Structure 1
Amino acid sequence: MTKKVIWKSASGQTIESLSLTEHPDHILIESIIIGVEEDKPLYIHYQIHLNKDWQVLECKVRSEQETLFHLQSNGNGSWTDGHGQPLPHLSECIDIDLSCTPFTNTLPIRRLNLYPHQSADIQVVYIDVISGQIVPAKQQYHHLGAQSCPITYAYLSYTSGFSSEIIVDQSGLVVDYPQLYIRLY
Structure 2
Amino acid sequence: MEQRVIWNHLESAGAEHLTLKKLTNHMEVRGTVLLVDQGVPHHLTYDLKLGLDWKTKKVKIYQEQETEPFVVQAENQDKWWVNGRYDENLDGATNVDLTITPFSNTLPINRVTWHIGERRTFKMVFIDVLKKEVFPLLQVYTYLGDNDGNRIFQYRCRDYETALVIDEEGWVVEYPGAFERRALLTTGDQTMDKRPQPLLANAPSSSGGFY
> What TM-score do you get using the length of structure 1 for normalisation?
0.92
Alpha-carbon distance change, 39 to 12 in structure 1, aligned in 2, over 3 angstroms: closer
Aligned to 2:74: 73
Aligned to 1:56: 56
Aligned to 2:157: 157
Aligned to 1:3: 3
| Conserved? CA contact 1:102–1:181, under 8 Å | yes
The one-letter code matched in structure 2 to 1:184 is R
CA apart distance, 1:11? 3.4
CA apart distance, 1:116? 1.6
CA apart distance, 1:76? 3.9
Alpha-carbon distance change, 10 to 75 in structure 1, aligned in 2, over 3 angstroms: farther
Question: Cα RMSD over matched residues?
Answer: 1.6
Show structure 2 runs of 5+ residues with no match. 184-211
The one-letter code matched in structure 1 to 2:63 is S
Alpha-carbon distance change, 162 to 29 in structure 1, aligned in 2, over 3 angstroms: same
Show structure 1 runs of 5+ residues with no match. none
CA–CA distance in 1 between the matches of 2:77 and 2:115? 22
- SS of aligned partner of 1:116: coil
| Conserved? CA contact 1:75–1:94, under 8 Å | no
| Conserved? CA contact 1:76–1:94, under 8 Å | no
The one-letter code matched in structure 2 to 1:164 is T
The one-letter code matched in structure 1 to 2:49 is H
Deviations 1:17-50 (A, max 9, x none): 0001111211111010013122111111001101
CA–CA distance in 1 between the matches of 2:175 and 2:80? 29
The one-letter code matched in structure 1 to 2:78 is G
Q: 2:166 aligns with which of 165, 168, 175?
A: 168
Alpha-carbon distance change, 113 to 75 in structure 1, aligned in 2, over 3 angstroms: farther
CA apart distance, 1:112? 2.2
CA–CA distance in 2 between the matches of 1:10 and 1:146? 24
The farther-off stretch of 21-30 and 138-147 is: 138-147
CA–CA distance in 2 between the matches of 1:91 and 1:175? 31
Number of residue pairs matched?
182
Alpha-carbon distance change, 74 to 149 in structure 1, aligned in 2, over 3 angstroms: farther
